[in-house]
Amino acid sequence: MSARSCSRCERVTGAQIAILALAALSVGLGAWTVRRDAPPAWRFAAPVPLVAEGAPAFDTVLDYTAPAGQAHSPGVALGEGGFDILWFEGSQEAQADVDIFAASVTRGDGGWRVGAPRRRVTRAALGAAMEPPQLVVTLGNTIENENASGALYTTAVSVGGWAMASVADVRMGPEGPLGARKLNLSPLLNRSHLVKSPMVEYADGSHALPAYFEMGQMHGVLVRLDARGRVRDAARMDAPGLQPIQPMIVPQDATRAVAFLRDFDAARGRLLISRTTDGGRTWSRVRQTDIPSPSAPVAALSLGGARILAAMNDDPDAPGDLRLSLSEDAGETWRVLHRFRADEGALRYPMLRRLKDDSIVLAYSKGTKRGITAHVFNAAWALQQ
């Protein structure tokens, strides 16, 4: 072997050693980071009981019909002086002209006031705010990100349809997105996760995000986040032969919660359910209930302990109607409190949120995705129906 060849071998060996050293350093730093970060504590924030006090109160605060196309899937983002109702609107679901709209609802001396609907997140603005910037072709279900003031989680699609969607963490300013990043939830190019339901609070002040996977074997998932919004863990809600999506999770105490899930297959016609007894770390096998469902999501809210208020399309003779029901045994049996009748089309995709003054917001799509309706009522009204 020539001296020149030996010199080359030495250079290659030196490069290899440097690479191995950097790899070892990376592994060491990663291990140090894991040890340094405390594992998440899987204990829910105990729901505060909602007491039916005062006179019954009920107001319709929004009754909006899209001037053209569709307006669908409301979310509710809470604020100091009231709340925002969010929805996606465009010519048709999953099309390239869909943006996120919002209407602000505030309480004044004369009662509730609602502002004019406005575009809150556009596809172009979100794409420009993404790190790195990228094309966003359509937007979908959007909820409040309770980890950060004024932030949102939205369902964003850069290519394909809903099965290729990602969940975007969007930090908002007065005029729209200031910054955004996709949550790292899937090894499949980080695709096929969507959101629909409100976040779940934990006793340490952190939150978890109910989400669902829509490619291949569909399933629900509870994504555990830290205070900075980083994904720390995920727990799956699944069952062979079923297609559970859009989990609505209601804690009962520090360790127990129930998840209501939509079956993507409308032919089975039943609401799905799963339960946890370890703070959401693991979930029971998803099973069918006796509750009829036309493959429609449920909104549910804890009233404290085993008492749950829910809005669902559970009348097989009138699947377009939305019924408000009460369970006092953590979702095993239900008593209907009130029926919201669909004059045209169907009332679907309900959302329930509890306000800081203990009023309750119920929002839903009307006319089979033609518009958004929202009501505010108190527990006295709901429980005296």
Helices (H) and strands (E) in the chain, counts: 3, 26
Which of 227 and 20 is assigned the larger pLDDT?
227
pLDDT at 95 over 80: yes
pTM of the predicted protein model: 0.89
User: Which of 28-37, 65-74, 227-236, 319-328 has the least mean pLDDT?
Assistant: 28-37
Mean pLDDT of 90-110: 96
Domains and CATH numbers, the chain: 53-384 (2.120.10.10)
pLDDT at 13 over 70: no
Could you report the per-residue pLDDT of 174-194, keeping only the tens digit for each?
A: 999 999 999 999 776 778 899
The whole-number pLDDT of residue 108 equals: 87
The whole-number pLDDT of residue 14 equals: 56
Which of 309 and 16 is assigned the larger pLDDT?
309
pLDDT at 32 over 70: no
Q: Across all residues in the chain, what is the average pLDDT?
A: 91
Handedness of CA 190, 364, 105, 327 (dihedral sign): negative
Could you report the per-residue pLDDT of 310-341, keeping only the tens digit for each?
A: 999 999 999 999 999 999 999 999 999 999 99
The whole-number pLDDT of residue 31 equals: 45
In this structure, are residues 70 and 345 in contact, taking their beta carbons and an 8 Å threshold? no
pLDDT at 4 over 60: no
The whole-number pLDDT of residue 191 equals: 80
Q: Is 116 left (phi over 0), alpha (psi -120 to 50) or beta?
A: beta
3-state DSSP helix/strand/coil percent for the chain, to nearest 5?
Answer: 15, 45, 40
User: Which of 19-28, 179-188, 344-353 has the least mean pLDDT?
Assistant: 19-28
The whole-number pLDDT of residue 187 equals: 72
- Provide the residue type at 67 as one letter: P
The whole-number pLDDT of residue 228 equals: 86
If you ran DSSP here, which 8-state letter would residue 146 be given?
Answer: T
Mean pLDDT of 361-370: 98
Query: Which two tokens mark 373?
Result: 């309706």
Mean pLDDT of 106-128: 96
Which of 26 and 307 is assigned the larger pLDDT?
307
Q: pLDDT-derived band of residue 8, with 50, 70 and 90 as boundaries?
A: very low
Cβ-proximal residues to 192 (8 Å cutoff; 6+ apart), any chain? 163, 164, 165, 186, 213, 214, 215
**CA separation for the pair 243, 253 (Å, rounded):** 28
The whole-number pLDDT of residue 196 equals: 98
The whole-number pLDDT of residue 237 equals: 98
pLDDT at 11 over 80: no
**CA separation for the pair 188, 307 (Å, rounded):** 39
pLDDT at 147 over 60: yes
pLDDT at 227 over 80: yes
**CA separation for the pair 362, 311 (Å, rounded):** 8
